[in-house]
Amino acid sequence: MMILIFLVIGVILSTTASFVFGVPWLMPILGAAIPYPIFFLQVRRQQYKSAFRWMLLWGVLQSIAVIVATAIAPETAAKVILRGESYTTEMFHWIRTGEGSEGSLSLFLPGHLLHYGIFCILCVVTLSSAALIFGTWMLNYMNFYVAGLVKLSAKPWLAAILGWYPWSILRIIGFIATGVALAALGLNLVSRIRGEVPKSPFPKTYMLIGIGFVIADIVVKAVLAPIWQKLLLSALG
C-alpha cells in the first residue's frame, strides 16, 4: 500500500513540477525518478515479478497524469513534452489520409528496432535508469497525442477507447519485461567487474517475454493499423 501511495503522489508531483518549471528534458527525468528506486530495489532483491508489476502500474499512472495535465494546460504541455506536437501531427495525418509510417511495416519497423536496440543498451549500461528516462519520453508524447485526439474528436468517448493502440500496449509490456531482465544482467556484470560471483542467474524468462511482446507489437501493428486508422477516422469525424 505504501508503494502505491508513493507512486500516485510521486507521479502527480513530478508531472506538476515539470509543467511548472517548463524545462522539456526535466519531464522524462522527473517522471523516471519516481519508480526507479522501487524498480531497482526489487530487481536487486531478485523480486522480478514485483518489479514488473509495479512498473506496469506506474505506466498507467504516468499516462493518466500526463493526459489530464495536457487536457488542463495544452499550451504548456506542447512546450514541455518533447516530440508531443510533431508526433500528434504525424498521427493525425495518418488518421486522415492513411499515409505515413504507422500503417507501413517497411517504414515503421526500422524505427521500432532502433528504439528497442537503444533501450536494451541503456538497460545494461545504466542498470535501466537511462532506459527508463528514454521510455518515459516515448510514453509522454504518446499520451500528449491521446489527449489531443480526445479533445478534437467528434466522438471523444470512442477516441479515448481507441487512442491507446493495442500494439503500443504490447510494446510497453515488452519494454518493461526487457528492462527487468537487462537490469539484472547489468547488476551481474557489475559483480563480475568487481571480481565477485553474481548473486543471481540471468532472468531469461523476462527477456523472452520482452522479446515476445516486442515481436507481437510489430505483428499486431502490421495487421491492425489499417483497421485502426478507419476506426480513428470515424471517431475524429
- Residue-level pLDDT at 1: 83
Residues present in the chain in total:
237
Q: Does the predicted TM-score (pTM) go above 0.85?
A: yes
In a 3-state reduction of DSSP, which class is residue 72? helix
- Residue-level pLDDT at 201: 85
At 71-120, the pLDDT tens digits run 999 999 999 999 999 999 999 999 999 999 998 999 999 999 999 999 99
Distance CA 72, CA 144 (A): 12
- Amino acid identity of residue 49, one-letter, is K
Single out the residue of 45, 37, 56, 4 nearest to residue 175, CA to CA. Answer: 56
- Residue-level pLDDT at 193: 86
Q: What parts of the chain have a pLDDT lower than 70?
A: none
Cβ–Cβ < 8 Å for 218, 109: yes
CA 94 to mean position of chain CA atoms? 21
Distance CA 27, CA 80 (A): 7
